[in-house]
Structure 1
Amino acid sequence: MEQFLAVALVHFLALLIPGVDFFLITRTAMSSGWRNATGTCLGIAVANGIFIATAFSGLALISHPVVLNSIQVAGGAFLIYIGTAFVRSKERSGPDEQTLMERATWARNFGLGLASGLLNPKNALFYLSLAATLTQASPLRLVAYGVWMFSVVLAWDIFVAVALGTKRAPAALVFWISKAAGAFLVLFGMGMIGTMVLRWWN
């Protein structure tokens, strides 16, 4: 029981730190409503579930430098692309002037969340480090931990989406949130690629 509480606490505290996933959910919820944002939430949760399953089963291929570097480059490029789209979004003056992201279907939002989660090596490395502390846990307990963490990720992300997207935000607010979120994603993506370049250079 003590081990479970420790794992649950560490995992939840990590969720509270705003990151790429938080900004994607915030932007989607405020521009398209919380129901549309649940697609992004589920995609992020599924990506976390994949990392949890691979880390806890010992199949963590991301630990290989080539795989890690490839994911880091792809993830950085993806974040720069999405961030640029957010920054370039225009303020809406009517329902027919929504941006491409705002017209995205639930399924497309799911794909966006899944890609964001899978291309973020920090997610994978977090679960790898967590799995390293649970080497003595039984397979059944690892399954229980995995199901719990997947459920908490999904529940927390949906909570954020509902809290921010229950009422459609004013167009001006969405406009500035998009700019801020886009700038963060671009900087984060550039940082991912820059870190890898520095690692290669050294």
Structure 2
Amino acid sequence: MTSVHGYFPPKTATGASALIPSPPWHYSGDLLTIEYRTDPARVRELLPEPLEPAAEDPGAVALIWADWQSCATGGRELLDPVLSQYKETFAVVRCAYRGRTYSRCVYIWVDKDFAIARGLHQGYPKKLGSIHQTRPHPYGPAPRIEAGARFGATLAAADRRLAQAVVTLREPSETGGFVNGHPMAHHRWLPSIENGKG
């Protein structure tokens, strides 16, 4: 009997067809983060037990656009960019578990199949979407990372515009993100294939 290999399906004799390679995975990219406040009760609706709303500022939300380049150890994918580049937009809230504050991704859209598979494996609720954002560049008409620079971003899924943003930079931030700056609290759910088994 032939044995099959690969970190993630489809598994084959060589393992070369696997949708995602073995971790660890490494990322670099450009992120546009917009933090805002909403009704804390709406955030609470998105937190499964045993998670609770964060004690401090429970209505804080971050909507983040990211233009990623990623690879496994060794960086093989970097020389075949279709296997390493993808974009995503995700909504993050703050929550608490056993008295500690965590970040939790409650919605996320990506534009590549390998990013969906990797995310579901990690506990991110990834779906397919169309994501675009202005890229900074040191030459030409593209904006630089400097005061006055303007950046736009859009998200669509199932042929519907879900979010858009325009940001004008004012000054460097002295801190990282308030919402997405904590360890992530995720669940990995996989319903039973048998009827009635949950």
TM over 0.5: no
Structure showing the higher strand proportion among its residues: 2
Indicate the structure whose relative CO is greater, using CA pairs within 8 Å and at least 6 residues apart: 1
Larger-gyration structure (1/2): 2
Task: State the TM-score bracket (shorter-chain normalisation).
Answer: under 0.3
